[in-house]
Structure 1
Amino acid sequence: MAHYPHTLSDGLEIRIALKRSAKKNLILRPINAHEISINIPPFLSESRLKKWLDENETLLRKTLARKPAAPDPHEKPGSIWYRGVQTALGEHGAQTIALMPSEILLPQKDWDAQKNHLRHFLTERAAEYLLPRLLRHADAMNLAPTAVGLSNAKTFWGVCRAKTGIRLNWRLIGAPEAVADYVCIHELCHLPHPDHSPRFWAMVHRHTPNTDEAKRWLKANGGALFVLG
């Protein structure tokens, strides 16, 4: 799958994830608020595609506005979110995963094996990245969770319980720093406020001025963080 940028008439730059397996018609699907997957016939040239994109900006905008379909964990994606950046997936001859500036290189195996390896790799990175971040916020807020850890939850980004502490979804390794900070602080605020009362939200907003932006990012892109299942 090829990825390249496309600029709309108002200067907004979006990403096109291009597949060449369509039989006849172009097939458009939203990936997130800034990226569209387009499946085209193999014979369609890039110049003709560029002309089509320029002439169908309204359709592109409508596609971007649609809710993305849930990612198919059985289909290998061309890229994944990693710390807020859509990072391409490539392959190399080594047996370990290599994290490059703009690419994650996987061992040359079938997708199921690569996916399991990648999930393990990202969970390790999440432990190194998210948990110290959570503890730094806890220290700054003078709060002390009973314990901290990661979860493999399918329905929430974090959970806070008085007896078992705070657990963060490992998939947040894909989110930008500001979004990870929001989730950390959201869960920490549940220590003094185990509800979603006005006092709880006032505390969240006091410690994360970007709360609304972080919630919008998760709404637009959160589904894509589950591409590995």
Structure 2
Amino acid sequence: MEFAYTVKRSRKRKKLTITVERDKSVVVHAPFELPDDRIGEILESKKAWVFEKLTHSQKYSDLPHPPGKELVNGESALYLGKLYRIELVEQLEEICFSNRFLIPSSQQHQRKTVLKNWYIAKAKEKLLPKAVGHAKELGVNFNHIKIVDNRYRWGSCTPRNNVNLNWRLIKAPMFTVDYVIVHELAHLLEANHTANFWSIVRTHTPKMEKARSWLKENGQILEEDI
């Protein structure tokens, strides 16, 4: 093979899938008993697809108030697809949100954790019920669903039918959140990215292409702490 890859085996998995992460790492999820030479053959047959993903250039749009620099007055942070200004407030004990982020001045130097914790709490509050609703619409059942901290994947569905959602999704518009959730739940019906898989996702998320474009344009911003 002409590219490096990591193989992750599972006794629960029945089919092989290939994932090219945004950090350009290639991960092969394979059934436990699948021989190495068979994995190599499958990767060889998918070489063109893998290289297309590896060489794909991401495009990101400049934001009027790019986040991720300092936690100061006038800075901005994303929430559900919109930018809101940050305002530091004296004698405030916790973050408040009212068309802007009101942040205690005492937490100004905790940039990497103060908003992250708030985002995670909001992700649990808003994303988890969304997943339950979409699962009912799709007619699927998952074992567990949780919010995770994963910089290079927006979501995942494990061989044990567990669904993971990246807390950073709470920064994205709800139509993008819906797309990612349905994408992962659709894997409970179709393990691979077949034509039938995409038909399921498109049927349940009419704004699928808009959501994918949004992630392509703004994915790098979501990866920032604020």
Distance of aligned partners of 1:153 and 1:98 in 2 relative to their CA distance in 1, 3 Å threshold: same
Give the counterpart letter for 1:85 in structure 2.
Answer: K
Among 166, 187, 193, the alignment partner of 1:169 is: 166
User: What stretches of structure 1 move > 4 A for 4+ residues in a row?
Assistant: 71-74
Give the counterpart letter for 2:156 in structure 1.
Answer: V
CA distance in 2, matches of 1:110, 1:143: 42
**What residue in structure 1 maps to residue 61 of structure 2?**
33
**What residue in structure 2 maps to residue 144 of structure 1?**
141
Distance of aligned partners of 1:143 and 1:87 in 2 relative to their CA distance in 1, 3 Å threshold: same
CA distance in 1, matches of 2:129, 2:67: 31
CA distance in 1, matches of 2:210, 2:180: 12
Among 142, 149, 154, the alignment partner of 1:157 is: 154
**What residue in structure 1 maps to residue 217 of structure 2?**
220
CA contact under 8 A between 2:67 and 2:221: conserved in structure 1? no
Number of residue pairs aligned between Structure 1 and Structure 2: 165
**What residue in structure 2 maps to residue 3 of structure 1?**
none
Among 195, 199, 205, the alignment partner of 2:202 is: 205
Superposed displacement of residue 35, structure 1: 2.9
Among 114, 119, 128, the alignment partner of 1:117 is: 114
Superposed displacement of residue 72, structure 1: 8.0
- Residues 159-198 of structure 1: CA distance to partner in whole angstroms, max 9, x if unpaired? 0013151010001111111000000100000111111111
TM-score (norm 1): 0.66
**What residue in structure 1 maps to residue 188 of structure 2?**
191
- Residues 70-109 of structure 1: CA distance to partner in whole angstroms, max 9, x if unpaired? x8856447111101111111111201101112x1011113
CA contact under 8 A between 1:80 and 1:227: conserved in structure 2? no
SS in 2 for 1:135: helix
Superposed displacement of residue 226, structure 1: 1.9
CA distance in 2, matches of 1:110, 1:125: 19
CA distance in 2, matches of 1:210, 1:123: 25
CA distance in 1, matches of 2:62, 2:69: 23
Structure 2 portions without partners, runs of 5+: 1-58
Give the counterpart letter for 2:137 in structure 1.
Answer: A
- Residues 120-157 of structure 1: CA distance to partner in whole angstroms, max 9, x if unpaired? 11100110000100111001111111111011111110
Among 66, 69, 82, the alignment partner of 1:85 is: 82
**What residue in structure 2 maps to residue 95 of structure 1?**
93
The aligned runs of 1:57-76 (5 Å cut-off) are 73=68, 75-76=70-71
Superposed displacement of residue 204, structure 1: 0.8
CA distance in 2, matches of 1:116, 1:36: 23
> Could you say which structure has the higher strand fraction?
1
SS in 2 for 1:109: helix
Distance of aligned partners of 1:109 and 1:151 in 2 relative to their CA distance in 1, 3 Å threshold: same
**What residue in structure 1 maps to residue 56 of structure 2?**
none
- Residues 14-56 of structure 1: CA distance to partner in whole angstroms, max 9, x if unpaired? xxxxxxxxxxxxxxxxx9536346xxxxxxxxxxxxxxxxxxx
CA distance in 2, matches of 1:112, 1:218: 29
CA contact under 8 A between 1:33 and 1:221: conserved in structure 2? yes
CA distance in 2, matches of 1:202, 1:90: 44
CA distance in 2, matches of 1:164, 1:117: 32
